[in-house]
Homo-oligomer: A and B are copies of this chain.
Amino acid sequence: MEELQSGSNVFFVLIGATMVLAMHAGFAFLEVGTVRSKNQVNALVKIITDFAISTIAYFFIGYSFAYGFDFFVGAEVLAEKNGYELVKFFFLLTFAAAIPAIISGGIAERAKFYPQLIASFFIVALIYPLFEGIVWNGNFGVQDFLKHTFGFAFHDFAGSMVVHGIGGWLAFGAVILLGSRIGKYSKDGEVTTHPPSSVPFLAIGSWTLAVGWFGFNVISAQSVDAVSGLVAINSLMAMVGGIIGALIFGKNDPGFIHNGPLAGLVAVCAGSDIMHPLGALITGLIAGFVFVFFFIQTQNKWKIDDVLGVWALHGLCGVWGTLAAGIFGLKIFAGLGGVSFVVQLIGALSGIVLALIGGFVVYGILKQTMGIRLSEQEEYEGADISIHKISSTSDI
């Protein structure tokens, strides 16, 4: 019986880990479809190698930093209880590795390859686990302090802030330090549009992410008896809200519509375990609007060349979701309660500050030392030829 219990938990978390692993393919294809054809191969290689480097960083450093657990004992110890601790690591790794995958979309089409791998290493080994450990493992007593002071801990069920917010705000620094793509903004202030090289690939990315997200959110319960159908339906409703929001505010643009569900899902992570489905629907709708509005602002008004709009998508929708948990999670909005808007705001702001500093420091140092940007000629030829010596497609 006990074995069924522990086996079921391992199975449960394994499926979650596998689903979030698949989301990394989703990140890759969202980028493949959005960038110009000459940068497609680079998008693919970046995501898969970033995942590998993140695994090394998290296995050897990050995970023990966050959770005080390491793997340097014999396999027979690790294998106890069906190896539950191991799949838990796998599951949480797929979250950690999402950070470089998020950043990747912002710095696309002009970033050097190896410096980005190095950045990924430090971010996943140190910066992300610092915030993760504080929020999810109670490190440094911050959560206790918040609970004591405000009555409630900072609530981020599946990582609106811990994962997406941190990723999006780290990307912000990287994008600023990199500068915009050549030719994107002309001297006389005009904006050149780079339409997506392939809407179908972009859509494959979007669907893969959206489907995998149900693992990301629901399996965050981390044991099968704690699973909550509420998380599932709230994810669904926020996703749908995001689609509809992007359809309406994004004027039927496929680029917006396929990011809409992601905006909704980013936003619902934090409060999916405590909101009412109607609250989740509204959270998603607003997230759809936030993404569309701020994407246009950054790209076309403020001329910040965040290629996939990851700051708007993960950074801003992540913050919005963190706050939304403090609104629609409240009992007066038919939520389960146990959250405080003020604490959510504190959590979001701390995350922003940490990620901004982290991003500017890591990418700043790399910029000063190895450089983070392709040469003009390399950028013009495309990252595929200049880094990988091959084109995305061939008709030979």
Q: A228 CA to B9 CA in the complex, in Å?
A: 11
A277 at the interface (CB under 8 A from B): yes
Q: For the complex, is A204 an interface residue (Cβ under 8 Å from B)? A: yes
Q: Which of A138-146, A237-245, A315-323 contacts B (4 or more CB under 8 A)?
A: A237-245
**Cβ-neighbour of A390 out of B199, B215, B223, B231 (below 8 A):** B199
List the B residue with the shortest CB-CB distance to A264: B52
Q: Which residues of B contact A37 (CB under 8 A)?
A: 395
Does chain B have a CB within 8 A of A14? Answer: yes
Tell me the A residues contacting B by CB distance below 8 Å.
1, 3-8, 10-12, 14-15, 17-19, 21-22, 24-25, 28-29, 32, 36-37, 40-41, 44-45, 48-49, 51-53, 55-56, 59, 71, 73-76, 78-79, 82-90, 93, 113, 194-201, 203-204, 206-208, 210-211, 214-215, 218, 223-233, 236-237, 240, 243-244, 247, 252-255, 257-258, 261, 274-279, 331, 334-336, 387-396
Closest to A233 in B: B86
Please state if B113 and A252 are interface contacts (CB–CB under 8 Å).
yes
The answer to whether A229 and B51 have CB atoms under 8 Å apart is no
Nearest B residue to A274 via CB reads B75
Complex Cα spacing A151 to B388, Å: 49
* Cβ-closest chain B residue relative to A218: B14
Contacts of A229 in B (CB 8 A): 10, 14, 78-79, 82-88, 90
Contact of A232 among B41, B55, B86, B206 (CB under 8 A): B86
CB-based nearest B residue for A13: B229
User: Is the beta-carbon distance between B52 and A247 smaller than 8 angstroms?
Assistant: yes
Contacts of A52 in B (CB 8 A): 240, 243-244, 247
Please state if B277 and A336 are interface contacts (CB–CB under 8 Å): no
Least Cβ–Cβ distance between A41 and chain B, in angstroms? 5
| Residue of B whose beta carbon sits closest to that of A337 | B76
Residues of B within 8 A of A275 (CB): 75
Chain B residues in 8 Å Cβ range of A243: 48-49, 51-52
B45 touches A207 (CB 8 A): no
Report A15 CB to chain B, min CB distance, Å: 7
Distance, CA A254 to CA B55, complexed state (A): 20
Bound CA span A373–B279, Å? 36
Residues of chain B with a CB closer than 8 A to A48's CB: 203, 206-207, 243, 257-258, 261
The reply to whether A254 and B196 contact each other, CB–CB distance below 8 Å, is: no
Instruction: List 25 A-B residue pairs with CB atoms under 8 Å apart, sorted by A's residue number.
Output: A8-B8, A10-B227, A10-B232, A22-B207, A25-B203, A32-B203, A36-B395, A36-B396, A40-B200, A41-B199, A49-B257, A51-B243, A55-B240, A75-B277, A78-B230, A79-B336, A87-B233, A93-B236, A113-B252, A195-B390, A195-B396, A196-B390, A196-B394, A204-B204, A252-B387
